[in-house]
Amino acid sequence: MDMPQRQGLYDPRNEHDACGMGFIANIKGVKSHDTIRRGLQILVNLDHRGAVGADPLVGDGAGCLIQIPDALLRHWAGTHDIVLPPAGRYAVAMCFLPRDAAARATAENLVAQVVQAEGQALLCWRDVPVDTSGLGERVIETMPVIRQAIVACPAAMRDQDAFERKILTIRKQVLNNVRALSAQSHLPGLAELYMPSFSTRTVVYKGLLLAPQVQSFYADLRNPMTQSALALVHQRFSTNTFPSWRLAHPYRFVAHNGEINTVRGNVNWMFARRHAMSSPLLGADLDKMWPLIPHGQSDTACLDNALEILIAGGYSLAHAMMMLIPEAWAGNKLMSPERRAFYEYYAALMEPWDGPAAIAFTDGRQIGATLDRNGLRPARYVITDDDMVILASETGVLPVAEARVVRKWRLQPGRMLLIDLEQGRIIDDAEIKQTLAGEHPYEEWLRATQVKLEDLPNGEEPAAPRDNASQLNLQQAFGYTEEDMQLFLEPMARDGDDPIGSMGTDTPIAVFSRKPKLLYNYFKQNFAQVTNPPIDSTREELVMSLVSMIGPRPNLLGHHAGTHYRLEVAQPILTNGELQKIRRISTQIGGAFRAETIDATWLAAEGEGGMASAVERICREATEAVLAGFNILILSDRAVSAERIPVPALLATAAVHHHLIRQGVRTGTGLVVETGEAREVHHFCALAGYGAEAVNPWLAFETLEQIRVQEGLALSAYEVRKNYIKAIGKGILKVMSKMGISTYQSYCGAQIFDAVGLSTAFIEKCFTGTATTIEGAGMAEIAAETVLRHRQAFGDDLVYRDMLDPGGDYAFRLRGEDHVWSPDTVADLQHAVRGNSQDAYRRFAARINDQGRSDPSGRLLTIRGLMEFRDADRPVPLDEVEPASEIVKRFATGAMSFGSISREAHTTLAIAMNRIGAKSNTGEGGEEADRYVRLPNGDSERSAIKQVASGRFGVTIEYLTNADDIQIKMAQGAKPGEGGQLPGYKVDKNIARVRYATPGVGLISPPPHHDIYSIEDLAQLVHDLKNANPRARISVKLVSEVGVGTVAAGVSKARADHVTISGYEGGTGASPLTSLTHAGSPWEIGLAETQQTLVLNGLRGRIAVQVDGGLRTGRDVVVGALLGADEFGFATAPLIAAGCIMMRKCHLNTCPVGIATQDPVLRRRFTGTPEHVINYLFFVAEEVREIMAKLGFRTVSEMTGRVDRLDMRRALDHWKAAGVDLARILHQVPPRADVAIWNSERQQHHLERAMDVDLIAAAKPALERGERVRISREIRNVHRTVGTMLSGEVAQLRGHAGLPAGTITIALRGTAGQSFGAFLAHGITLDLQGDANDYVGKGLSGGRVVVRQPDGVARDPAQNIIVGNTVLYGAIAGEAHFEGVAGERFAVRNSGAVAVVEGTGDHGCEYMTGGVVLVLGETGRNFAAGMSGGIAYVHDPEGRFATLCNTAQVDLEPVAPEDGDADDAEYPQAEPPSVADNGMGDPLRFDAARLRILVERHARLTGSARATALLTDWPAALGQFVKVMPRDYRRAMQDLRTERAALMVAEQ
Amino acid sequence: MAKPTGFLEIERHERGYRKADERIRSFDEFVVPLGDEGVATQATRCMDCGIPFCHTGCPVNNLIPDWNNLVQRGQWQPALRLLHSTNNFPEFTGRICPAPCEAACTLNIDNNPVTIKTVECAIVDKGWEEGWILPQPPARRTGKRVAIVGSGPAGMAAAQQLARAGHGVTVFEKSDRIGGLLRYGIPDFKMAKLLIDRRVAQMTSEGVEFRTGVEVGRDVTLASMRDRYDAVVMAGGAEQPRDLEVPGRALDGIHFAMDFLTQQNKRVAGDSEAVAAPTGTLSARGKQVVVIGGGDTGSDCIGTSIRQGATSVVQLEIMPRPPEQEDKALTWPNWPLKLRTSHAHEEGAERDWAVLTKQAVGVHGRVEALECVRVEWVRGASGRVAMQQVAGSTFRIPADLVLLAMGFTGPVVPGLVEQSGVALDPRGNVAATDHDYRTSEARLFAAGDMRRGQSLVVWAIREGRQCARAVDEALMGRSLLPR
């Protein structure tokens, strides 16, 4: 019934899920069977949001929560001679019981015992009638015995809530005890005892079912006697295919669509409260409930557990939800002070459960839903005139006659919808929150107890460091390098930014390095990919917060509020003065805080062995201090000297944090770190991730001062410090946002890291819960490194007498770190390809392949360096191995955008790859259309792989139809979880043209794809792209990190044809150095996990797996194949073959060999040819063949996944790496005859079900003869991506220009599914009466989309939502008119479309670079964030807009009355003349005319009453518009105008 | 950080030289430094490459981008520290190194490398000028004693490193002054000998004992040295010159280049003619000089001859004339074979390539002319390139003084090498790896040309430094000396 055990790299805790959810409720609380029936209908219509695995009869689970069907149970009781107490006086425990009879008896017995022990009475067991017909075999095999236990409330207990608390106590004990019991008894399946619900009010019917099966399986749900006023339903999309009944939603209180990113930390913090938590309501029962959140559960289950304990502790449902998932309050000027005080007050009690989430919740009396602060999941609802509320991830899931709908709306970010069935009304967000915020004088409480560090009197600066330890010695003791000074500290001090670099990492992982490495380097940052989105911490700053609470946390369940002091810092980097304030805090605030410093150094005389005992001592002293009443602990290495060695700060911090958690006293104290070690962003992040609430980097400050003086910076000491703190702060925000975490408070302790190269024993002791995959260094090796640094600092080493170690991590240095790309390897490779010299290639390959063996220095560079081939007993003759010309077809070059590299370099790669039948990749910058045409010599410059990245630059329907593969870039090895930025100076005319942007205006790629916030969204995009080009394979590019295999499984289930696993070594044109080095992991780990997980799930055969990110030699390719790759990507090596010399200056546009530059002078220096690239790939392929011959394989397919032919070697002679163990990477999932281990099957895309099949047929006259066609159809939410396949047909025939305007008109009625009109081609009009879901007009390529209220409906468009989130994302051209309000992120990254809408959600026009948007209504917050081009107008009669707009990049201007001359060539035109010209004229002039045209057109196309009203008094209306003008855009337009004028003068 | 666009904005500009007709009037150095600002500007051209090919181009692995960066910002003293961390004697290499670093420079892809050598030289010259270069005596003495045989750049580098590691170091030199080939093989106009004296003084203060006029193997036996010292480093150079084995070789007026150069160096040093030329004066004054051998020593012979007043100087090379420009695609960043014109050539010398000397002809036992033949280099069936004489191409060159500058075949075997009993490698050099520098005999190490064969000063310094570390490791079990 459960998932497979952890094996190899597969770990069940990495599983993700997301889904569709919804509910229906009768506001008045009227129960009916119909409500249940309709709830189940919602489920069926959300089917496409779920997934099926390898077996089409096995879904991922679905379920339904309803009120207890008292009538049904009473009837049943009647037939069984049982007297049921009145409703509300009994509880139903829905139980999944073991199939084994003995185990079941034990389980039932256990339930009975605990019920009895808690003084309650178990009335009876009821067999829940089920019907297994139609269920898959595997489902039936794993099906539990489902019974309901009915427990009566004792007469003495009057209060229903008290009874609820009691049954919670029972449930916790049963489930906690069953684990222990099953360990003793060895009864099969006993541990699987599970209670989906146990309540007096609700009951959950769920299981491993497909949506339609919920109803057929559970007879109760079909029984008319089953009645409820609400039905909460959920359909799961999991990344795995393992049958699990319990993981279906809903849980006891919630159904969740999304992901809790911080769950690891949240669960830890809950555990850490054990001794600090008490509840007057629960009393002694609380103690019986621990662990409140058991290990090994899904994030939703954990959240459900947290919610139930808060409710049991006396919080109301809404109150508890606000504590767990608060809206973004810090810095929200629009929020009332009372409400902000409420959130701020509870911030100290509960760290946010952060992540994309739409959560529906109910306790049976109230039902509601809330959205995370970012609003990253959709939730739409309708209210009908017969008191029903229907809410779901999509609109249209339950057809309701339009005439009955009173309102259509959506949940907004951070907002809540609550229906109180007892009060019989909807309580809106403002009322709920105002009421709760007004319940207590939170502002007063805060004033009394909130201590802000900045308000405390100044502390003294601590004394200078002791005499015998010079600055240099101290720096060396903490491992400072020259690069730290030059690449990090100085630029940060100067500019206040986290520094940027380029190309990839090619140094060994820390455990392989021959140099001592800081402990931080063993930790790789996690990042969000697919299952949740990263955040843009710059453009969406409003949700981010660095506020940190230092010190003890109040009792979560204590309601005697207002007495507990809390210390707050605005950000976690403390200056020396601030730390002094904390040190002296005990003399202030009535002694509420007492700080104790714990020395984190040890005696040098004790040597390496001293570190372990020092860690023990520090932990012991920490516990003692907490027990002695100190509530701020300062771990300090200030005592460092020639005699004392500092314990690595990360080790000290994590060890103390986990030690205190284990003792249950962690929330009794704050943890502050005073260290000389931390200096770069990653260091602070790691410290935070393992529990540091604030950090004082004292030596970094001293070093900054040294740099300031030495370099003669024109800044004061204060400014330098400030800049540095600012840079670190920005960096931390970025790292947090990569994982989709918005607040430091929830990042703190969240352990968002993988360890690479640390032993399990060490991790379990000090970094409990962190994943580590290849074992490696432990306490002894880390101690050895630390001692070595200390010896270099204070010893006699001549090299270190007066200078720092060179570092050499970011650029090759002879005495620095080892690099794969060295002067020798680059020279050998270039000489090999240019002279076609096999010898030179062999020298090159040998230098890279022979690690630690032939090389006397014993250097290790990569994980595969420790692998050995198991040669065949009988090799095959070389000439029987498939030819190199076949092997190279499996090769691809990496995604490098035209923009990041020159056209010369880009086309050289394309020609080379096309000549040999391999594939090149456009990267994310689009492609010039002239490259689709073959050159006269037969060469083709067309890139076979078209990338679709978050910026969607140049992603038109034409671009997509010209692809063999379409690659969705979820992440990039060099900077996973981040977006990109192409600075304005790189955007020349050509780049601007292919990217549909403005020359000279910088371009931003957002960190997330705004249409992929979860796995089911990815499935939707895969579906969209497949529709756009059914001939192309759809590929998803992922980056290696622990858990990537699970994501890959999800990708396979999302029907992608291809997945790329990238190693962290992959290159980039520009990335923060922090990300280049510290995010993602080597590909060996990710690829092996992917292969294992896919095979385990039976999903491998239907998807091709490609590996890239640091492949260089034939040996690399063979290792990749044996670990499970079908295909292979190369990027840096082919670039080097074409002349790249790893300058690492790509981000500066100064590439001296003409590759990574757009400078025409430098581009002339490019000397690479396609032959160079081809020679290289053939050398690689020949090397592959030679190895294959020895291994006895004739084809690469035979070899794929044959991990049994790889062996490992121990690095016994390496001082740190001896413990590295590759067993988990080399684990082979036991082969099964019916499970493929390489890509031998096809995905089923079911395009034949698309509405477009019918539309294409109907549009035949237009496609074939250009005749005008009008088509009318009904549409439902299950009709997704309508118009896209048709557009693909148009683009194939007519390219980007499409058909003449108005050729095909499709009139539709109803609710459109997602991606309505995606990539719609020019000449097609979609005219929809009704409404639409998310992603309308995504990638619009010239078509026209109209969504309007149905004829005869008179709802106020400004109060009703008509299209969902992320509408017109990446639109290139065309127009859209919406008679109603759109959701969040309207027109995000629009680069050319013209749109009119009657209101928008938050983040409207985000990252927009072109086009025109007119909003005839209110906008949400953060309008125009990152908007660098195009213009927008907002109708703002009340003058509120200025507070809602993000003016970081834009100016707001009034609209001038009619101006200009209609004959001016730049005057706006009534209709757009072509796909290339939207007819909107000069954006700097003619605003009034343009507005009038748009409003008139809107009125004509939608019949909008609002537009008509505006037109009736146009002069007055005109004064009410505000124009949003991006500053860069204006400048560029002015430049363009000047240029044009100059040109005209010149011509005259 | 370097200025990213420096290389695009600033032209390469080298140190200047005094005019040829002016400089040939003395044996003084004739390089005109660029001045601090000029050097800093040139340093700005450095791109601070992701892979600084100059690092490995340079045998001592100078940290070139790093000190370029410092010089650029006027931080000369830290630059000097950094420079000294890889090179004991940058003032030597800054003058006479052919600068393989510049060949490897990324900007040499189109022939505009950073003027690395100029920057190096400027840093160390400034260091001496400002008095920043001081003795660095060790904090502690180890009590171990090391003898170093030979005081050329390898011996000196080894001595300085070992002394700084705390060992008692004695350097034995068979000549009357310290420096080996550096002292007597290189004319003063290329490198003033004061530079060596200054280093000797520094090293003496650091505890190095110098003994000149002592030839180990003749004046003292190696055996006795091995008794008295914990380790002996053989750094005696590769002094066996390649001879011209043709009829007429015995004629008067045909001399090895070293004999000729040594005399002049001694004269410049102020020695009397009796001391400078105990076996008789060799002078080019008024003579038609032919230099055989196209390398650096040949150039030194030319410059010296011209300064002495030769009427003509002709230089012959057996190999064909190399291309003016190498094939960058196949050579960079390696050292290219290409036509190199030295300063001496500019001072007035003719060069001829692919010329084989057949015999020397003379009267009264004095040489008067060389009979030569042109040769072709042809790739044979085996792929090997072999020399063939061109029929009928014999010609004569008048010659009063013939200087043989055809390189060295290896260490002189009689004496030290013979006595030591060390194994030799197939090329006749003392066998030892460049990892541990150990000879086949215990406690006996070898470094420099004696181990690697004739090479550059910069290679000798590298060998000396690395050997010092190997010795230190052998004596102490571990070493903190950089390799």
Chain A residues 1097-1156 with a CB less than 8 Å from chain B: 1141-1145, 1148, 1150, 1152-1153
d(CA A1131, CA A1066): 8
Q: Record the tokens describing residue A1250, joined without a space.
A: 């698309």
Shortest distance, CA A727 to any CA of chain B (angstroms):
18
- How close B80 comes to chain A (CA, Å)? 11
pLDDT-wise least confident of A1530-1539, B98-107, B201-210, B469-478:
A1530-1539
d(CA B69, CA A252): 65
Distances (CA, A) of A790 to A644, A818, B13: 9, 22, 44
Cβ of residue A1167 closer than 8 Å to a chain B Cβ: yes
B480 close contact with A: CB closer than 8 A = yes
Beta strands in A378-430 (DSSP E): 380-384, 388-392, 405-410, 416-420, 425-427
A1030 touches chain B (CB under 8 A): no
**Cis amide linkage into residue A1231, ω under 30° from 0:** no
Secondary structure E strands in A263-387:
357-362, 366-371, 380-384
Least Cα separation, residue B277 to chain A (angstroms): 43
Q: In this complex, do B52 and A811 lie within 8 Å of one another by their Cβ atoms?
A: yes
Q: What is the mean pLDDT of residues B253-274?
A: 96
A362 - beta bridge partners? A367
Q: Give the span between the Cα atoms of A350 and A292, in whole angstroms.
A: 15
- Of all helices (H) and strands (E), which one includes residue A1306? strand A1304-1312
Query: Model confidence over A500-522: pLDDT tens digits?
Result: 888 888 999 999 999 999 999 99
Q: Is A1140 a catalytic residue?
A: no
Q: Do B50 and A826 touch (CB under 8 A)?
A: no
Which token pair is A1175? 């020679």
Contact call for A1148 and B329, based on CB within 8 A? no
Chain B residue with the nearest C-alpha to that of A835 = B330
Single-letter amino acid, residue A41: Q
Cβ-contact A64, A233 below 8 angstroms: yes
Q: What count of other Cβ atoms lies within 10 Å of the Cβ of residue A846?
A: 15
The Cα–Cα gap between B34 and B44 comes to 14
Interface of B with A in 72-101 (CB under 8 A): 73, 75, 78, 81-82, 85
Q: Cβ of B418: how many Cβ atoms within 10 Å? A: 12
Q: Predicted ipTM?
A: 0.93
Strands A90-97, A194-199: pairing kind: antiparallel
A813, A855, A986, A1162, best to mutate vs chain B, most B CBs in 10 Å: A813
Q: Which of B65, B106, B480 sits opposite A795 (nearest CB)?
A: B480
Q: Is the dihedral of CA A907, A913, A917, A922 positive or negative?
A: negative
Which among A1020, A1037, A1051 is positioned nearest to A1365, based on CA atoms? A1020
Full DSSP string of A8-65: TTB-GGG--EEEEEEEEEETT---BHHHHHHHHHHHHHTGGGS-B-SSTT-BS-EEEE
CA distance A909 to A1172: 10
Helix A1083-1096 with A1044-1053: angle, nearest 10 deg:
50
A783/A781 Cα distance (integer angstroms): 5
Q: Are A311 and A324 in contact (CB under 8 A)?
A: no
10-residue averages of pLDDT along chain A (1548 residues): 67 72 96 96 86 69 95 96 94 96 94 95 96 88 94 89 95 90 84 93 94 94 97 85 80 90 84 87 91 85 94 95 91 89 91 88 96 89 96 92 94 94 95 94 90 81 54 94 93 90 90 95 92 87 89 83 82 94 86 94 97 98 96 96 96 97 92 97 97 96 92 92 96 92 91 95 95 95 96 82 87 90 96 96 94 68 94 96 98 92 95 98 92 96 96 96 97 83 84 91 90 91 97 96 91 95 86 88 95 93 95 98 98 96 90 92 95 98 98 97 94 88 94 90 92 97 96 95 98 96 97 97 98 97 97 91 97 97 97 97 96 97 95 96 95 87 89 92 94 97 96 94 96 90 82
Find residues 824-843 of chain A whose CB sits inside 8 Å of chain B.
Answer: 824, 826-827, 830-831, 834-835
Taking residue A772's Cβ as centre, other Cβ atoms within 10 Å add up to 22
Helix (H) or strand (E) holding A1341: strand A1341-1348
Q: Are strands B16-17 and A1127-1130 parallel, antiparallel or unpaired?
A: unpaired
Q: Is A798 on the interface with B (CB under 8 A)?
A: yes
d(CA A1508, CA A1512): 6
Q: What is the pLDDT of residues A1353-1384, one digit of tens each?
A: 889 999 999 999 999 999 999 999 999 999 99
Q: What is the CA radius of gyration of chain A?
A: 32
| Inter-CA distances, A1136 with A909, A1153, A1154, Å | 11, 10, 12
Q: Is B466 on the interface with A (CB under 8 A)?
A: no
Chain-chain contact of A811 with B51 (C-beta, under 8 angstroms): yes
Residue A527 and residue A971: Cα distance in Å, rounded?
9
Q: In the numeric block, which tokens belong to residue A1492?
A: 């009038």
Provide CB contacts within 8 A for B268, sequence distance 6+. Answer: B27, B187, B188, B193
Q: Check B5 against A1150: CB less than 8 A apart.
A: yes
Report the amino acid identity of residue B33.
Answer: P
Q: How many Cβ atoms from other residues are within 10 Å of residue A248's Cβ?
A: 28
Put simply, the answer to whether B50 touches A1145 (Cβ < 8 Å) is: yes
A 1255-1274: CB under 8 A from B: none
Q: Do B480 and A811 touch (CB under 8 A)?
A: no
Phi, psi for A317 (deg, rounded to 5): -55, -50
Comparing alpha-carbon positions, the chain B residue that sits nearest to A489 is B1
* Subunit contact A813:B56, Cβ cutoff 8 A: no
* Distances from the Cα of A1428 to the Cα of A999, A1004, A1341, A1449, B80, angstroms: 11, 9, 20, 7, 48
Q: Is A1244 on the interface with B (CB under 8 A)?
A: no
Which of B7, B51, B114, B481 to substitute to test the interface with A, most A CBs within 10 Å?
B51
Looking only at the bridges linking them, the beta strands covering A90-97 and A357-362 are unpaired
What is the per-residue pLDDT for A455? Answer: 86
- The beta-carbon neighbor of A1141 closest among B51, B63, B81 is B51
Catalytic residue, from A19, A619, A1405, A1445: name it.
A19
Q: Do B1 and A486 touch (CB under 8 A)?
A: yes
Which residues does chain B have within 8 Å of residue A798's beta carbon, measured at their own beta carbons?
164-165, 480-482
Written as six digits, the tokens of A106 are: 């034990």
Q: How many interface pairs between A and B have CB atoms less than 8 angstroms apart?
A: 114
| A796 closest CB neighbour out of B333, B480, B482 | B480
- Reported as a single tens digit per residue, the pLDDT across B366-378 is 999 999 999 999 9
B187 interfacial to chain A (CB closer than 8 Å): no
Dist. CA B148–CA B233, nearest whole Å? 5
User: B332: which chain A residues are within 8 Å (Cβ-Cβ)?
Assistant: 827
